[in-house]
Amino acid sequence: MTVSRRGLVLGGLAAGAAPLVGAGVAQAAQSGPQQGSPGNQILQLFASLPGTSAIKIDAAAAGKSPGLQVSLNAALEMFVGSAIKTCVLCEAFRQADSPQVLDTITARQLALDASVWSLDSATFNPPNLIGMVSERTAMEAMILHSDNTGTDMMLKLCGPGNVRSFVSFAGMTKTMIPDSTRVFTAYLLGLPNYQTATYLDVIAASNGPFVHQPLNPVQTLASCADDLVSCYSRALQGGFFRYQETLSQFLEILSIADAIWLIPVPLGVSAFVKGGSIDIPGFHALCVAGGLFFNNRWVFFCFTLNWTAPAETDPATVAAWAAAVHQALQIVISALS
């Protein structure tokens, strides 16, 4: 069974960024601003990109060292794709929160079958894999490779309503979570039974046109930079968990995200990140959000880009954005070191 590229609409950061980042960073370093405040230098890196950029960087002052705050369209709701999977991870760990959290997520077995298969699932590879998988493995697939089947396994376990309750509890007023990634894709494709569509239903429709836009009020993966930075600033420091053991497992999972290497985050910095993207004809999105820890201080950030382009992919814009993010993080680290 084959799936058209058009059907593979939702993932982590676009894989096409990886081989292009090196050249893009060199270009950004040569053409980027050499004068002005770090905040202005960062904002100028994104000024020539198409569409709408949203940026937020928040680093508190530490002792005699000043902080750094950068903001652009930070309250604007945008499509962030798989970046919302951190919210799913937060709720999963809240439900498993205990000193025995590792034993819990390792022992708990989840069904890997047609009930959770979703497009863009390189790890669980539907329909070729079936059986039982530990919750920990599903978490790792959701974050490391942004596997949508792993995500739907976690949403099924946690309950999408409970994830939305966490989002509300966290004060994330512009963050929207779909019932599942499969429901989201089925809605985009205009399936009348999108809430109950099977994997085979979505496969059958995947070569057809997209009826709904990714950013919509019904089934979407949306947030704003303010929400994501606020969430990470608390989650990465244990604000949503009672036990240190739970925080340690949460940090471990987020430290393996592929986005860390696709940007890439500079070596020598601890990074806890989740990215997201979408490519469909006419609409594209990129997002990366998370936290960096270095020199005994935290920096929380979110970079999002939504833009229109008629082609199904736009690798030039992806590479330019990834280069700008990398250069921005270099400026942050230099300014705070």
Q: How does DSSP assign 138-193, residue by residue?
A: HHHHHHHS--HHHHHHHHHHH-HHHHHHHHHHTT-TT-B--S-HHHHHHHHTT-TT
d(CA 20, CA 13) in angstroms, rounded, equals: 13
Question: What is the spatial distance between Cα 175 and Cα 78, in angstroms, rounded to a whole number?
Answer: 9
Helix (H, G, I), strand (E, B) or coil at 284: strand
For the chain, what percent of residues have pLDDT higher than 90? 85
Q: Is 62 helix (H, G, I), strand (E, B) or coil?
A: strand
> Which structural domain range is residue 262 located in?
5-336
Reported as a pLDDT band with limits 50, 70 and 90, residue 21 is very low
Q: How confident is the model at residue 190 (pLDDT cuts 50, 70, 90)?
A: very high
CB 146 within 8 A of CB 12: yes
pLDDT at 64: 79
DSSP state of 309: -
d(CA 301, CA 170): 17
Predicted pLDDT of residue 266:
84
Give exposure, 251-277, as e/b (b: 16+ Cβ within 10 Å). bebbeebbbbebbbbeeeeebbbbbbb
Is the confidence at residue 15, as pLDDT, over 60?
Answer: no
What pLDDT digit, counting tens, does each position of 51-98 carry?
999 999 999 988 778 899 999 999 999 999 999 999 999 999 999 999
What is residue 337's predicted lDDT score, i.e. its pLDDT? 86
Number of domains observed in the structure of the chain: 1
| CB 274 within 8 Å of CB 143 | yes
CA distance 246 to 266: 27
Give the separation between CA 13 and CA 151, rounded to whole angstroms: 15
As a whole number, the mean pLDDT across the chain is 91
Q: Summarize pLDDT for 193-228 with one digit per residue, the tens.
A: 999 999 999 999 999 999 999 999 999 999 999 999
Residue 198: give its domain's CATH number.
3.40.710.10
Q: Among 114-118, 202-206, 266-270, which stretch is predicted with the lowest mean pLDDT?
A: 266-270
Is the pLDDT at 245 greater than 50? The verdict is yes
CB–CB of 320/25 below 8 Å? no
What share of the chain has pLDDT > 70, as a percent?
90
List the one residue out of 204, 203, 205, 185 whose CA is nearest residue 195. Answer: 185
Average pLDDT over residues 247-268: 93
**pLDDT band (50, 70, 90) for residue 10:** low
pLDDT tens-digit series, residues 130-187: 999 999 999 999 999 999 999 999 999 999 999 999 999 999 999 999 999 999 999 9
For residue 6, the model assigns a pLDDT of 39
The pLDDT value recorded for residue 14 is 55
Tell me the C-alpha distance between 329 and 290, whole Å.
12
Quote the pLDDT of residue 11: 59
289 neighbors 232 (Cβ within 8 angstroms): yes
134: β partners: 109
